[in-house]
Amino acid sequence: MRLPVALRRWLARLNLTATLLLLGALFIFVNFIASRRYVRADLTKTKITALSEKTTQVLAQLREPLTVTVFYQPGHRLYPLVRDLLTEYEERCPSLRVEYVDPEQDIARAKQLAQQFEIDRVNLVVFQAGARHKYLSDTDLADYDYSRMAFGGQPSVNAFKGEDAFTSAMLAVTQTSQPLVWVSTGHGEKSLEEPGPEGLSALKKFLERDNIKVEPAVLLEHAEIPASVGAVVIAGPTRGLLEQEVARLRAYVDGGGRLLVLADPMQETGLEEFLKSWGVALGQDIVVDPARQLPFISAANLFVTTYTQHPIVEKMQTLMTLYPLARSVRPADDVKDELTVTPLAMTSPQGWGETETQASEFQYAEGTDLAGPVSIAAAVERAGGEAPARLVVIGDSDFAANGQIENVGNLDLILGACHWLMAQEQLIGIGPKPLESIRLTLTAGQVRGIFWLSFAGFPALMGLLGAGVWWRRRR
């Protein structure tokens, strides 16, 4: 029986409507499932939001509730990076709660937070656990290139440091105990309070960001170094330490203390014999490496890309470290059985330790100079038996000063040394991640071709296809 034309049309419309409703329901159902069961992947070349092993370990150990307040304007250049990265943190840590506050739209909440955290500016990320809080600004989260400002432009973001800053802030507000580091003074060492290029104020800031308390100390003023001191740092002394001070250091390290020595070349530190007894020999030389010489400057301006297998440098294999002037630091000829001495950073085989330290041009002298590859840093560990102790000796202090510390891998090395000394190996190794910069250069002819193809070619093609379909149906 043939149905009437009107009924067939009505049934066709009903079938189309039902199909559209079912497709809509399926679309909603799929999106509902996808919102709860999904996989996130970072497809960027530099893995800008992929979390490191260090962060994963910190998140796994987080027990108390932690609140992160993103006090940012959505139009800010860092906002998408901050949001994407914090989403990864939330996925790994159920006890982490993130609140986004637009200070221009939610004025009441912004005022409440400004009073609560005593902040007077926007574009901050605030970490809070209990009564402890820490805020991070733009300069904590990114490295900027300010060269364009000379021509009236805006600074651009070179690298994103969000993961390092976020994880350090989490540690700062969740760890109730703070390791204490003494930085010696009184022998011409670099100063913690000096903001100039020769000071250590930047190093102090980075250590404090990792929840480490840093204090200057005159060793002679103390009858002994307390066991509560997590590590002692001696950074670039220009005058030798007194016998009484060396005796205090010896007693401290013998009792299980931790010591970091940054010993510049052509300087007598007074620590030579003490370090030798711990298996480290300081070279009376300067290290040169013509095979890795920077253009137009002396070969004594050293850059190193070769590292050994050790927790301090194991995550630095793709980074280089820069040393304006360094001396050799190598295992001593006679090392006690209970000590493990590991070189950390090496020159190429073409490098050497130059004993003619006043020479302006360098020439390797067989039998006099130290043949390469030359070590410029070493780590010492005494484990088991007596009280465990650790030392790190690096043949330069300038690499850790304000003017050099953020060059390539310098910060990674000095922070890695400090964390290893205090048995915080899990905190070693998050660096800034450079942003991808992809440019498409087109000629004027290519631009015109794209214009006509987009605004004339494709519409004309769609029109021809539509006309063809209409003509076929008409037939």
Task: Decide the pairing of beta strands 124-129 and 66-71.
Answer: antiparallel
pLDDT tens string 18-42: 888 888 888 888 887 776 665 655 5
What is the rounded distance in angstroms from the CA atom of residue 401 to the CA atom of residue 421?
19
Say yes or no: 310 and 191 in one domain. yes
Say yes or no: 160 and 309 in one domain. no
Say yes or no: 128 and 209 in one domain. no
What is the rounded distance in angstroms from the CA atom of residue 46 to the CA atom of residue 118?
36
Total count of domains within the chain: 2
- Tell me whether residue 475 is in a domain: no
- Tell me whether residue 461 is in a domain: no
> DSSP letters of 43-96?
-STT-TTPPPHHHHHHHHT--S-EEEEEE--TTSTTHHHHHHHHHHHHHH-TTE
Say yes or no: 119 and 194 in one domain. no
- Among the candidates 170, 192, 209, a domain finishes at 170
- Tell me whether residue 29 is in a domain: no
Domain hosting 249: range is 178-428
Structure tokens at 72: 């940012």
- Tell me whether residue 243 is in a domain: yes
What is the rounded distance in angstroms from the CA atom of residue 197 to the CA atom of residue 138?
22
Say yes or no: 225 and 166 in one domain. no
- Among the candidates 388, 408, 428, a domain finishes at 428
Q: Is residue 314 over pLDDT 60?
A: yes
CB 226 within 8 A of CB 275: no
First-to-final CA distance of the chain:
28
pLDDT tens string 104-150: 888 888 888 777 777 767 778 888 888 777 778 777 787 776 666 55
Say yes or no: 186 and 162 in one domain. no
pLDDT tens string 1-13: 566 777 777 877 8
Among the listed residues 254, 281, 293, the one whose alpha carbon sits nearest the alpha carbon of residue 389: 254
pLDDT of residue 239: 94
| Average pLDDT value over all residues in the chain | 83
pLDDT of residue 435: 58
- Tell me whether residue 14 is in a domain: no
- Among the candidates 170, 205, 239, a domain finishes at 170
Among the listed residues 395, 415, 398, 399, the one whose alpha carbon sits nearest the alpha carbon of residue 407: 399
Say yes or no: 141 and 202 in one domain. no
Q: What CATH number does the domain containing 146 carry?
A: 3.40.30.10
Say yes or no: 102 and 231 in one domain. no
- Tell me whether residue 317 is in a domain: yes
Say yes or no: 200 and 310 in one domain. yes
- Tell me whether residue 5 is in a domain: no
Task: Decide the pairing of beta strands 302-304 and 213-217.
Answer: unpaired
What is the rounded distance in angstroms from the CA atom of residue 380 to the CA atom of residue 357?
27
Say yes or no: 222 and 298 in one domain. yes
Share of the chain above pLDDT 90, in %: 35
Q: Which of 175-189, 220-234, 376-390, 422-436 has the lowest mean pLDDT?
A: 422-436
CB 111 within 8 A of CB 123: no
